[in-house]
Amino acid sequence: MRKFIASTVVAFMMVMPNSAHAVNDQDEFYQQLDLLMRIFERVRSEYVDEVDDKEVIEAAIQGMLKSLDPHSTYLNPDVYQQVRVQTQGEYGGLGLEVQMENGVVKVVSPIDDTPADKAGIQGGDFITHIDSKPVVGKTLTEAVKQMRGPVDSTINITVVREGETAPFDVEITREKILVKSVRHRIEDETIGYIRVTTFNMQAGEGVENAINSILDEAGDQLDGVVLDLRNNPGGLLDEAIRISDAFLSRGEIVSTRGRRRQNNSRWYATAGDMLDGIPVVVLVNANSASASEIVAGALQDHRRAVILGDKTFGKGTVQSEIRLGRSGDKAIRLTTARYFTPSGASIQERGIEPDIEVLFPNQRRLKARREADLQNHIINDQENQDRAGEFDPISEEELTEEDPKPAEGEPVVDVQLRHAIKLLKNMSSLPKAQVAELQVTKP
């Protein structure tokens, strides 16, 4: 009996510090909440001007989420509606993917064949003024509202672009934006070209239809396919998996890992490669992010495609959309997991290194901004991995010789697409077994 009591006392003493620690943490938590409410009451009662309670609370929520990482955010009813419409593939405006950075609107990417794209707006541009009114001090919601308006009305935006000595104004006429996320064509008679601009709800089906159309048009003459994911900021995970599956016949596509068990998942390819082993080159650049990196990483790890271009953005985190309110008309987008490629490499902060690096002439002078440059980005604590591709990078000398900067007035040559076509043409001249060996093993 004494032994039982003694052991019980020891066990209780061992538990006490943890229990006390938990109680202290809980007390501190409630003290912080009380502090927040006290400050809020002081703002309401003593600020120089009367404040809008709703706006102040929204700002507090937004600040809390933004302190975690750049991609966790609060979606009020207006923004949430915009997100839903954009994901479904139709909305009104200029045709821009944007985010807030350093108090101004940053262009993630213009959408192909939209007013912004035709006006020459580029990924990485900063919009500092809208109709001569500064963006600084506005929320992203307010800025987006200001950029949207009636069809055929005009808007003037002031753009700051890296490499330009001064800001410049661009006048754009608003249109109804119908986001056609996938386009395709035949290049150089025997090369299929598929461009994916965003991973919306139509992207997976669009790629499958594009592959079938290319096969019907080119038939036995098809030497290869270029999958262009440049300036694609990402989108729906399901669509990235479906597109990857179109090119793979087996194996893991992507996995996610988070704190909670329900955020740990793996997705695998189904049997059947739509191209039946026909060579593929994937084009990427610094603005290829998230879902684009999932597709590029899956095809690279399985040696199903050659990745060509520039290192990708490095957004390797999963955001879960958690709906709020009785009507579900608002939500938070909260980072809940990380993406991992089939080899187990984390995309976060590092991105996908191309097998063959090919840069546009101006990219050698300008440093692109990526995930690692964003404030409060999640650090990738995974040990360094050898992500070198299976092909030697094209040298600076070779690029300089082959791709001189065009003279003023001459059209800009898409050097990355040109190299992709050349590579596929060269691969088509090899025996099929040798092409398969190139895609599976390193030289």
Question: Read out DSSP for 319-364?
Answer: EEEEEESTT--EEEEEEEEEEE-TTS-B-TTT----SEE---GGGG
Please give the model's pTM, rounded to 2 decimal places.
0.71
According to the model, what pLDDT value does residue 109 have?
Answer: 83
According to the model, what pLDDT value does residue 437 have?
Answer: 53
Domain boundary residue among 124, 154, 178? 178
Let me know whether 267 and 400 are in one domain. yes
According to the model, what pLDDT value does residue 12 have?
Answer: 37
- The answer for residues whose C-beta is within 8 angstroms of residue 264's C-beta and 6 or more apart is 255, 256, 257, 258, 337
Q: What is the pLDDT along the chain (443 residues), one digit of tens a residue?
A: 444 344 433 333 444 455 556 667 788 889 999 999 999 999 999 999 999 999 999 999 999 999 999 999 998 888 887 777 667 666 678 988 888 888 899 998 888 888 999 999 999 999 999 999 999 988 887 888 889 888 889 999 999 998 899 999 999 999 987 778 899 999 999 999 999 999 988 899 999 999 999 999 998 899 999 999 999 999 899 999 999 999 999 999 999 999 999 889 999 999 999 999 999 999 999 999 999 999 999 999 999 999 999 999 999 999 988 998 888 888 999 999 999 999 999 999 999 999 999 987 765 556 778 888 888 788 888 765 544 333 333 333 333 334 445 545 455 688 999 999 999 999 876 655 455 555 543 33
According to the model, what pLDDT value does residue 253 have?
Answer: 97
Does a structural domain hold residue 250? yes
Does a structural domain hold residue 264? yes
Residue type, 209: N
According to the model, what pLDDT value does residue 72 have?
Answer: 92
Domain boundary residue among 144, 178, 212? 178
Let me know whether 206 and 355 are in one domain. yes
Let me know whether 283 and 425 are in one domain. yes
CA atoms of 309 and 42, how far apart (whole Å): 54
Sign of CA dihedral 390, 392, 393, 398: negative
Let me know whether 210 and 231 are in one domain. yes
Q: From the candidates 106, 311, 315, 330, which is the catalytic residue?
A: 315
Q: From the candidates 223, 301, 355, 403, which is the catalytic residue?
A: 301
Let me know whether 157 and 234 are in one domain. no
Does a structural domain hold residue 222? yes
According to the model, what pLDDT value does residue 435 have?
Answer: 52
Does a structural domain hold residue 15? no
Domain boundary residue among 178, 197, 225? 178
According to the model, what pLDDT value does residue 18 have?
Answer: 56
Q: From the candidates 288, 290, 292, 346, which is the catalytic residue?
A: 290
According to the model, what pLDDT value does residue 90 have?
Answer: 60
According to the model, what pLDDT value does residue 403 have?
Answer: 44
According to the model, what pLDDT value does residue 166 have?
Answer: 94
Let me know whether 106 and 246 are in one domain. no
Chain-centre distance for alpha carbon 300? 18
**Contact status, residue 218 vs residue 428, Cβ threshold 8 Å:** no
According to the model, what pLDDT value does residue 267 have?
Answer: 97
Does a structural domain hold residue 27? no
What's the CATH code of the domain at 133?
2.30.42.10
Let me know whether 396 and 258 are in one domain. yes
CA atoms of 23 and 21, how far apart (whole Å): 5
Does a structural domain hold residue 107? yes
CA atoms of 248 and 246, how far apart (whole Å): 6
According to the model, what pLDDT value does residue 408 have?
Answer: 52
Let me know whether 391 and 431 are in one domain. yes
According to the model, what pLDDT value does residue 154 have?
Answer: 93
According to the model, what pLDDT value does residue 438 have?
Answer: 52
Let me know whether 299 and 320 are in one domain. yes
Q: Is 53 a catalytic residue?
A: no
What's the CATH code of the domain at 229?
3.90.226.10
According to the model, what pLDDT value does residue 279 have?
Answer: 95
Q: Is 315 a catalytic residue?
A: yes
Let me know whether 301 and 163 are in one domain. no
Domain that holds residue 408: 182-440
According to the model, what pLDDT value does residue 366 have?
Answer: 63
CA atoms of 354 and 364, how far apart (whole Å): 16
Q: 279 by DSSP, 3-state: which? A: coil
Does a structural domain hold residue 25? no
Q: Is 34 a catalytic residue?
A: no
According to the model, what pLDDT value does residue 345 have?
Answer: 93
CA atoms of 289 and 286, how far apart (whole Å): 8
Let me know whether 359 and 312 are in one domain. yes
Let me know whether 273 and 391 are in one domain. yes
Does a structural domain hold residue 386? yes
Q: 252 by DSSP, 3-state: which? A: strand
Report the domain count for the chain.
Answer: 2
Identify the CA nearest to 350 among candidates 297, 383, 390, 313.
313
